[in-house]
Structures are given as structure tokens and as C-alpha cells.
Chain A
Amino acid sequence: MKHSVDNRTGVIVRNLALPGLLILVWQLWALNLPVGSPAPSPVKVVQTLGELLSKGSLISATVQSLGRVLMGFAMASVLGIALGLLMGSIRAVRENLDPIIESFRPIAPMAILPIAILWLGTGTPTALAIVAYASFFPVVVNTVHGVSHVDRKLILAARTMGISPWTILVRVVLPGALPSILLGTRLAMGVAWTAIIAAELAVGAKSGGGGSGGIGQMMFVFYAYNIDLNAIVVCMTVVGLVALCIDQIFRVLEKRLIPWRQEA
């Protein structure tokens, strides 16, 4: 028992060695800066984090952004999986939709922002549209890929058991494509999170609101009005940590939903 505990601490020490060293070097560098320099340092970042947390604005902004991400992601997933299943199993649907999807896919989410703002304003609907747009592509592309790689024999076997096409879609094609679909949603969640920050940054330039505009807008305010680099680093760190947590949740979910892949 003691041995394994030692091992675990060993692993933690090893994994934290490089980040710890980088923070140390950063702090040493910051110590040599002239007094009053706006450049960020680890100590000042931690202080700012404390202030922002006690004011509550950091948490409310993060929750706001996260809510938009989950909402936009959910919209994109439902649409992406449904369309992907249809495209993957019905040739005519695939051949009609594929050119449309492939020609929109290279257009960055930020590039549709002007239109989104004109049509939907500078609030939550625009943020949702950007997130949904960004995360739709990984979901639909991976779903189509997953469906087209479902073992043909499984579908034939199901047909010889007198199973209807609709049931085959739900009971054979969907679970067969699930590993690929989950990969697509995990990638989608990643791009959703980057898209919301960028969207809020850009929308912030127009409305200039406070914490209610999400964490991206909060960053814009610190940049444009206060030039508080420490606060911006705090925001960046929070964005990174939240993304890390979301990714971990997806990995756990994947293990739960695909038990047959565990030791294959």
C-alpha cells in the first residue's frame, strides 16, 4: 500500500515539474521588472484572482460563457448527429448536403460574426449562433464517418432477422457509429469553448458591457479600458482550466458509454 501511495506522489511531482519550473522562471523574470510595470507576474496574477473571485464577477462571467457553450453545443449536437445519421445512411441526402457542408466548413466562426450581429444583435443569440456554427462541423463530419464505417455485415445480419430499417438505424447504425460520434462531440466541445471566447471578445468591442457579457467580454474590458494584464492572465487561466475539466468529463463519459471498447 505504502509503495503505491509513494508512486502516486511520484507521478504527481513528475507531472507538475515542468509547469512549476516555468512559473518559477516567470516569477524570477518579473522580479527584475521596474516598479509600476504593467507586465504580469505569478504573484500579481494570484492576487488579482483573489480580488475577482471575491467580487463574484469572474464566476458569474464564467457561468454565463459556460451556459452559452453548453446550449450552443447541444443545438449543434442534436442537429449534427441527426443530419450525420441521415447523410451516412441515405446516399441522396449525403450527395446533396456534402457540398454545402464542405463549402461552409472552411469559413471560420468569426467570419460569420458580422452577419450574426446584424441579424441577431450583440447578445446571447449571436453567441449561441457562433458556438453552434463552430461545433456543428466536427459533430456532423465525425457522425458521417462513423456511420459509413459501421460493419456492413452487422446491418445485413440485422436485415436477416426481420428488423425494420428504422430499428436498424437506431439499434445497429447508431451504436456502431457511437465511438466516432463521441469523438466528434469532444472535438466540438473544444471548438465551442474557443468560439465563445472569441465571439464575446468581438461582441464586447461593440457593447462594452461588464461581467454579464461572459468571460470573453470581461477580457475585452480589461484590455480596452483598464489595460490590466494580470486580470487577462487570470481569465486565460480560467478558460484553460474549464476546457481541461470539460475534456476530462468527456473522457469519463466515453468509457461509460462504450464499455465494449475498454480492453479491445
Chain B
Amino acid sequence: MNTPSDATKLRLTGVTKSFFTPRTGTTTLAVAEMNLDIQTGEFICIVGPSGCGKSTVLNMIAGLDQPSSGRIEKDGHAITGPGADRGVMFQDYALMPWQTVEDNVGFGLRHGTPGEHLSAKQRQERVAHFIDLVGLRGSEPKYPHQLSGGMRQRVALARLLANGPDILLLDEPLGALDAQTRLILQSELLRIWGETSPVSERKTAIFITHDIEEAVLLADRVVVMSTHPGRVREVVTIDIPRPRAGHARTNPRFGALVEHIWSLIRDEAYRAIGGGASVEPASHETTH
């Protein structure tokens, strides 16, 4: 075990999660013996084939799920339950359908711990600030069903940031979007996370995706997981200089890193779609 530095934000030690299915009487090991240290301001992407326990890891960090064994610490203290210091952005947005954009963004500020010490005016200003930041000014009175997928995702992002978490947990947040919207939101995410700011001002982000290019574009380190049970296969450091938004894909390192990560999960990915061992995987061109 490496020695903890002051900058260690999150530490996973021997984290194991198994699920018991009463109907079949079987126990499934979803995550096994996961060890990971995440530094303050780091952008971590977790990739891996479906069923590798990516979302389970995220839920445990969020405190929505407890590890069966092992320990998750934030700033040296064990995580025992959910808290607004760890904001989650869900794949399907999880916006309240009965609330307008403005009310959705301010939901945590109005009803949860993040707004406890703020006056109504301060909350309002905060909501307006983050609506502005994600480019949704003018859509405040709209309901989620009146928005496109990309706009809903922006609302979810504004809500996440308005609650002021120091760790952002993002569960395939761009998975449901079309390719162009996705590219735009990737660069906006980097901007909002603080790519151009000093490391000390950045949030700590853990981002789950099945898109390897997306992971290489966004992350400082990519955690590659394998399945049955979910284990850390390799942690790949992405040594492409920042800011990356816009032109990182032209960097020769980009293709090499994507290829390397793909080679780590290729066999399992083929098995997952039922191709079996007889299918010889073609050389990787694109993950889309």
C-alpha cells in the first residue's frame, strides 16, 4: 500500500461487493478486492464491459450502497451513507418531472443540506449562476419533458454543481445523447470541471463510460475493469497535456492509448455480446 498523501481525496481499500439473489439462492460477486487512491482535483474515468461493476463502485462511493467488505474513505473518514458532498449525475438524468428547470436546479438547495446556510436570495443567485454556466438561460420555466436530451443533461449538470459537492460522480452521463451533442458536452464538461484552472481549484471527478475515446479525452487516469467478478485490470495514466478540449484527438498518443485500453477489454467485450472465442476480433478503428 502506498503512503497516503495530503491530496488523497478518496481511498478504496479491498472493496468487495456481493449480491445475494433470494430466488436462486446464489451470491454474485460484483466487485472484488478493489484498491484505488484518487487525488484531489483528479478526473478518473472507469471503463469496462457491461457487468464489470462500474455502477456498483460509483453507488458505493455515493453511499447509496455499502461494500460487503473493505473500506471507502473520503478525506480519511469512512463513508457511511449518501451526502451532498458527493454529487451524483445519473445516466437517465433523474430530473423531477413536476419541477421546472429552475426548480430542478435548486432542488437540493431548497430541500437538502447544501442550502441550509443560504438565504432565499443567495439560493436564487446560485441557481441563476449555474443555469447560466451550462447555457440554459431562457429555459428556466420549462419542464423536463419539453427539453431535448442534451438540455436535460445540462439541467442535471447544473443541479449537481449548484449543490456544491467536492466529488462529482458521473454515471454514463452522456450515454443517451446523439454523437454531436455528446462532443459538445464533453468539451463543456472539461471547461466546467476546470481544465484551464490550477489543479487545486478543480473538483474531483469520477466518470463512468463505455466509450473508450471519451475516457481518454476526459481523464487523468483511466481505470480499466474486467468482469466476473469486477476487478481493476489496469490503471492507465493519460499523459496528454491539458487543455484537451477540441484538439486532443489529433495527438498521436490519443490513438495509442485508445488502442491499448481496447486491447485490455476486447476479449471480454466480444464474449459479452455472444461472439465467443471463435470470433477473431478485427483491429480496432473506432469505439463508436
Contacts and interface: CB of A to CB of B under 8 A. Distances in A.
A260 B143 contact: yes
A264 B112 contact: no
B219 interface: no
Task: Count chain A CB atoms within 10 A of each CB in B63, B92, B96, B143 and give the residue with the most.
Answer: B96
Interface stretch (A34-42, A49-57, A159-167, A209-217): A159-167
B107 interface: yes
B145 A154 contact: no
B98 A258 contact: yes
Interface stretch (A22-30, A131-139, A171-179): A171-179
Contact-residue size bin, chain B (C-beta under 8 Å from the other chain): 20 to 34
B84 A260 contact: no
A209 B15 CA distance: 77
Contacts of B145: 260, 263-264
Contacts, number: 69
* 5 smallest beta-carbon distances between A and B, as pairs: A162-B113, A161-B108, A162-B84, A157-B94, A162-B112
Contact-residue size bin, chain A (C-beta under 8 Å from the other chain): 20 to 34
Please report whether the interface of chain A is mostly helix, strand, loop or mixed according to DSSP.
helix
Contacts of A161: 84, 87, 107-108, 111-114, 163
A19 interface: no
Interface of B: 62-64, 82-84, 86-88, 90, 92, 94, 96-98, 107-108, 111-114, 143-146, 163
Contacts of A151: 94
Contacts of A258: 98
A160 B171 CA distance: 13
A245 interface: no
Given A175-B98, A260-B97, A263-B145, A157 B88 contact: yes
Contacts of A260: 97-98, 143-145
A124 B99 CA distance: 42
Given A159-B82, A161-B111, A162-B113, A175 B94 contact: no
A153 to B, nearest CB: 4
A158 interface: yes
Given A153-B92, A160-B82, A161-B84, A178 B112 contact: no
Task: Count chain A CB atoms within 10 A of each CB in B97, B114, B144 and give the residue with the most.
Answer: B97
B159 to A, nearest CB: 8
B108 A156 contact: no
24 contacts: A151-B94, A153-B90, A153-B92, A154-B94, A156-B64, A156-B88, A156-B90, A156-B94, A160-B62, A160-B63, A160-B64, A160-B86, A160-B88, A161-B87, A162-B108, A163-B108, A171-B111, A175-B98, A176-B96, A178-B98, A259-B143, A260-B98, A260-B143, A263-B145
A50 to B, nearest CB: 48
B88 A162 contact: no
B82 to A, nearest CB: 4
A117 to B, nearest CB: 44
A160 B98 contact: no
Contacts of B62: 160
A159 B64 contact: yes
B212 to A, nearest CB: 26
Contacts of A264: 97, 145
Given A153-B90, A161-B112, A162-B114, A172 B96 contact: yes
B118 to A, nearest CB: 13
Contacts of A163: 108, 111-113
B87 A160 contact: yes
A175 B87 CA distance: 23
Given A161-B163, A259-B143, A153 B94 contact: yes
B87 to A, nearest CB: 6
Given A260-B97, A260-B98, A160 B111 contact: no
A139 B215 CA distance: 49
Contacts of B107: 158, 161
Contacts of B113: 161-163
B182 to A, nearest CB: 21
Nearest to A264: B145
A154 B84 contact: no
Nearest to B84: A162
Given A258-B98, A260-B145, A157 B84 contact: no
A251 B200 CA distance: 56
Nearest to B86: A160
B184 to A, nearest CB: 24
A161 B98 CA distance: 18
B164 to A, nearest CB: 11
Contacts of B97: 260, 264
Contacts of A178: 98
Contacts of A167: 111-112
A163 B63 CA distance: 14
B99 to A, nearest CB: 8
